[in-house]
A = this chain, B = another copy of it.
Amino acid sequence: MNDNGFKILINKSMRVLIVGLGLMGGSYARALKRLGFTVTAISRRQETINYALENGIIDAGSVTPDPRLIGDADLVVFGLYPKVFVKWIEDYQQYFKSGVIITDVTGVKGSVVYRVQEMLRPDAEYIAAHPMAGREVYGVENSTEKMFYGANFIVVPTAKNTHGAIELCKDLGAALGFARISVLSPEEHDEIIGFVSQLTHCIAVSLMTCCDNKRLVDYTGDSFRDLTRIAQINDAMWSELFAMNKKALLKEMDAFLEEFTAFRNMLENDDTEGMRAKMRLSTERRAWFNKK
């Protein structure tokens, strides 16, 4: 339906439905509303819908999967936990308008994208995306478009996706204000996220739990604070994300364990030259990541 030779670009006449109006869904809603889109939302808690209506973040909303709201939408953005997202599609896709485009914000892709595309109605298209932004707080009340500025937006298509939907999704990322839009396969995405995001969260959590360090508060510099900022973590969401990317994450954890153990053994064996070589390599590599 979208490969008729015309590039489908996101435009303000599209009606956007956000399902799951949390920190991320709320930030999408704010950005799209400001751009002039008609934005509606379905979210579990009445307080969320009320807050969003009162603050002009959405035009209409419901705490139930209202068939009218769903059927009116040209674009549906899912801001749900992975398993809830899959279940929602199963239960309510019957209400979608024919030709709808759906997208998401899920932090794992391999275990979600193929399954949803498999079960989805043939007259709907799901183009996966991962907005790599976040805060250590939750809920629509804390949502803000600023979260997207300077951040990465990854579009994660499969062979089932049309050129038009991929372009529309890239356009959406740009419209939201993301600094860099990339395209990755679900497998590439999960491997990279396993390293840059999930492994780092596992390290931060382990560093906080490996000793009772309350007495250390007075002796802590910025290094330790920086390293453990992400140890304040939403346990329900992250445990689900880890479990759904188990294979890739275990591979990254094992690579890190091996490297850390090697460094530990160099220290034990007084291999100063070995430690220095590792430090020179880390210094060289880290320089690539300095913000330009």
**Does A94 sit within 8 A of B, measured CB to CB?**
no
Q: Within residues 143 to 168 of chain A, which ones have a CB less than 8 A from any CB in chain B?
A: 151-152, 154
In the complex the two chains form, is A196's CB within 8 Å of B224's CB?
yes
In the complex the two chains form, is B257's CB within 8 Å of A220's CB?
no
Q: Which residues of B contact A279 (CB under 8 A)?
A: 205, 233-235, 238-239
Q: Within residues 205 to 247 of chain A, which ones have a CB less than 8 A from any CB in chain B?
A: 205-211, 213-214, 216-221, 223-236, 238-240, 242-243, 246
Count residues of chain A with CB under 8 A from any CB of chain B.
87
Q: Which of B154, B213, B242, B275 interacts with A239 by CB under 8 Å?
A: B275
**Does A170 sit within 8 A of B, measured CB to CB?**
no
> Closest chain B residue to A199 by CB distance?
B207
Interface SS, A side: helix
Q: Which of B226, B233, B285 interacts with A282 by CB under 8 Å?
A: B233
Q: How far is the CB of A177 from chain B (nearest CB, A)?
A: 15
A203-B260 CB under 8 A given contacts A132-B219, A214-B288, A272-B239: yes
Q: Within residues 240 to 256 of chain A, which ones have a CB less than 8 A from any CB in chain B?
A: 240, 242-243, 246, 249-250, 252-256
Q: Which residues of B contact A132 (CB under 8 A)?
A: 219, 221
A276-B236 CB under 8 A given contacts A249-B267, A257-B261: yes
Q: CA separation between A276 and B192, bound complex, in Å?
A: 23
Q: CA separation between A56 and B34, bound complex, in Å?
A: 54
Q: CA separation between A192 and B259, bound complex, in Å?
A: 24
In the complex the two chains form, is B152's CB within 8 Å of A213's CB?
no
Which A positions have Cβ atoms within 8 angstroms of B?
132-134, 151-152, 154, 180, 182, 184, 192-193, 195-197, 199-211, 213-214, 216-221, 223-236, 238-240, 242-243, 246, 249-250, 252-261, 263-264, 267-268, 270, 272, 275-276, 278-283, 285-289, 291
